[in-house]
Structure 1
Amino acid sequence: MKKGASTVRRWEDLDTDILVKIFMSFDVFQLTFGIAHVCNSWRSACCDPLLWKTLDLSVLRSNFIKIPLEPYVYVDECSDKTLTCLLKISLSLSRGYIRTLIFHFNLYVRDKQFTYIVERLPQLRRLVMLAWNKIKKDVICKAIHTWRCLESLTMPSIVNMPYLIQEIALNCKNFSELKVMGLFDIIFASTIAKFLPNLKILSLRCSVMVKDALMLILDDLPNLEVLNISYCLLIEGPLLPPLTPEKIIKKLDKIILQKATRLCEFLTCTEHSSSCASILKVRKAL
């Protein structure tokens, strides 16, 4: 090197911990389809566990149309291939470190893709998945049987729900948090109370819920600490159309509020607009 010449470090020569801190600011698309393919040192940094605590696919949604027959959606082949490619690269880079997996509300996963995920993430602890249309019952059961460390599940209100709750009860001993979006009736509430009596957190946010189901949850889940019914449509009587204004409960009565005092936190909002901020928090006295 000539006298007076400065030493210039290349990007690929940066320490791995510095690269990892930089890469933490990028999303999964940028990591998998871009950064990981620049050079060997960058790919090595992309495999760091700090980058893969969570695989957040909420930025990806399927290009689909609704159809009248099962699975009730048709997914465009191009978006299906994009998901497959993304899963293969990200699960290869992550090396099984992922503990939280988040899907977009309209990201439809096929049996083969779901099985691929399950086989490579046996230590998954939290799953957020709201579109189960294209996954068969036996595939879901096999996944729950594999995910014995599962602690939290966000799911839709599916028609044949008891089998899933029962599988969780049999296989996931540390399961403590359930989030449901959809319809919540007395059958759903009874199933949860029967198979998941140790549930600590239950969120029914933005669901349609029967009052009797709410009462059952408050009575029959002795270990429940947090209940979220924010932006729920609470109704009197069975979940049968039409939902007339007379059925809709505008204000929680004293009995419900009294039962909720045993909870650490009770989140509720009986208004159904995004501007509503009347959230009630009932905290246990210390």
Structure 2
Amino acid sequence: MVSPSSPILPFSSVSSPLSSSSKTSPVMKERGYRNWADLPPELTSSILLRLGAIEILENAQKVCKSWHHICKDPLMWRKIDMHNDLGHEHKTICRHKAMCRHVVDRSQGGLVKIDIWYFGTDSLLDYIADSGFTSAIVKLPLLEDLEVSACDLSVESLEVVGKCCPNLKTLKLNNPLINYNDDEFAIVIAECIPKLRHLQLLRNRLTNTGLKAILDSCSHLDHLDLRECSNINLVGDLEMRCYEMIRVLRFTH
């Protein structure tokens, strides 16, 4: 409950979580203050959706009973962002894995996007959708954004992404440790995910051949990030095509 003698405070400053009454005191009404708990549920939900999962679990849902109820709504967990305040200590990673499982449970199968950053493991993906990366993708047909960083992704797995996620608009692949032909990888992107609008390939061994295949097929692409892709020689006709097709182009040089 907001103190009668103070201005309206953000939720993190509100005391006595969950035990506060949702009623606005006479003093607050007289002074023109409004209780956050009195906001329409739709507006409160819209505000809370701008927070990350960790902020919601550790702060927002503890403000009052009405916020706690809204934070348990499966619609709040269609898109899960777990990158807030991440640490790399073992205890922190274990805690975030447990929190991730909890919010996936809250989504009740309605998950369309999940951002789990540095603590993603096969066992965690297994929990999200039965078994491993490809099983997770199969269970997420509404997925629109996918980022795979610092872990291996096979050509076969990418083909599954293209087959099972027809709504995919953003693909970010950031891994310098891959051990297969990156042009083959680019050809899979061109053939299986032609509706991409945003493609990021950082530190990739892609060559002009692979880039040309992507440009030939992905006609909706308007944001292309090829930083540290040292095997691409962006000159001549290929350079002209990139600047004509791509609204936002990022390149090492």
Which range, TM-score by smaller chain?
0.5 to 0.7
Task: Say if 2:136 is the partner of 1:143.
Answer: yes
1:86 aligned partner, one-letter code: M
* CA gap 1:173/1:48 in 2 versus in 1, 3 angstroms: same
- The equivalent of 2:210 in structure 1 is 213
Shift of 1:92: 4.8
Unaligned runs of 5+ in 1: 65-75, 120-137, 237-248, 272-286
Q: Tell whether the 8 Å contact from 2:112 to 2:140 is kept in structure 1 after alignment.
A: no
From 31, 47, 53, the equivalent of 2:56 is 31
1:118 aligned partner, one-letter code: A
Of 11-20 and 155-164, the range deviating more from structure 2: 11-20
1:139 aligned partner, one-letter code: G
2:123 aligned partner, one-letter code: K
- Give me the whole-angstrom Cα distance separating, in 1, the residues matched to 2:153 and 2:59: 41
From 265, 273, 280, the equivalent of 2:247 is 265
Of 12-21 and 206-215, the range deviating more from structure 2: 12-21
Question: Higher helix proportion, which one?
Answer: 2
Shift of 1:142: 1.0
- Give me the whole-angstrom Cα distance separating, in 2, the residues matched to 1:263 and 1:166: 25
Q: Secondary structure at the match of 2:143?
A: coil
Question: Higher strand proportion, which one?
Answer: 1
1:100 aligned partner, one-letter code: K
- The equivalent of 2:228 in structure 1 is 232
* CA gap 1:24/1:144 in 2 versus in 1, 3 angstroms: closer
Unaligned runs of 5+ in 2: 1-24
- The equivalent of 1:45 in structure 2 is 70
Shift of 1:148: 1.6
From 235, 249, 255, the equivalent of 2:237 is 255
Q: Tell whether the 8 Å contact from 1:181 to 1:207 is kept in structure 2 after alignment.
A: yes
Deviations 1:148-189 (A, max 9, x none): 222332223755521111212332233343222235832222
Task: Say if 2:86 is the partner of 1:61.
Answer: yes
- Give me the whole-angstrom Cα distance separating, in 2, the residues matched to 1:60 and 1:13: 26
- Give me the whole-angstrom Cα distance separating, in 2, the residues matched to 1:42 and 1:159: 39
From 182, 185, 205, the equivalent of 2:182 is 185
Trace 1:86-235 onto structure 2 (pairs within 5 A): 86-95=99-108, 98-104=111-117, 107-118=118-129, 139-156=132-149, 159=152, 161-183=154-176, 185-196=182-193, 198-208=194-204, 209-219=206-216, 221=217, 223-235=219-231
- Give me the whole-angstrom Cα distance separating, in 1, the residues matched to 2:172 and 2:207: 16
Q: Tell whether the 8 Å contact from 1:62 to 1:108 is kept in structure 2 after alignment.
A: no
Q: Secondary structure at the match of 2:245?
A: coil
* CA gap 1:79/1:11 in 2 versus in 1, 3 angstroms: same
* CA gap 1:25/1:168 in 2 versus in 1, 3 angstroms: closer
- Give me the whole-angstrom Cα distance separating, in 1, the residues matched to 2:150 and 2:48: 36
Q: TM-score, normalised by structure 2?
A: 0.67
Poorly superposed stretches of 4+, deviation over 6 Å: none
Q: Secondary structure at the match of 1:234?
A: coil
1:56 aligned partner, one-letter code: D
* CA gap 1:108/1:269 in 2 versus in 1, 3 angstroms: same
* Alpha-carbon RMSD: 3.6
* CA gap 1:43/1:264 in 2 versus in 1, 3 angstroms: same
* CA gap 1:212/1:24 in 2 versus in 1, 3 angstroms: closer
Q: Secondary structure at the match of 1:225?
A: coil
Q: Secondary structure at the match of 2:230?
A: strand
Shift of 1:228: 0.9
Shift of 1:145: 1.4
Deviations 1:225-280 (A, max 9, x none): 325135333326xxxxxxxxxxxx5xx31121233366253513343xxxxxxxxx
Trace 1:63-78 onto structure 2 (pairs within 5 A): 63=88, 76=90, 78=91
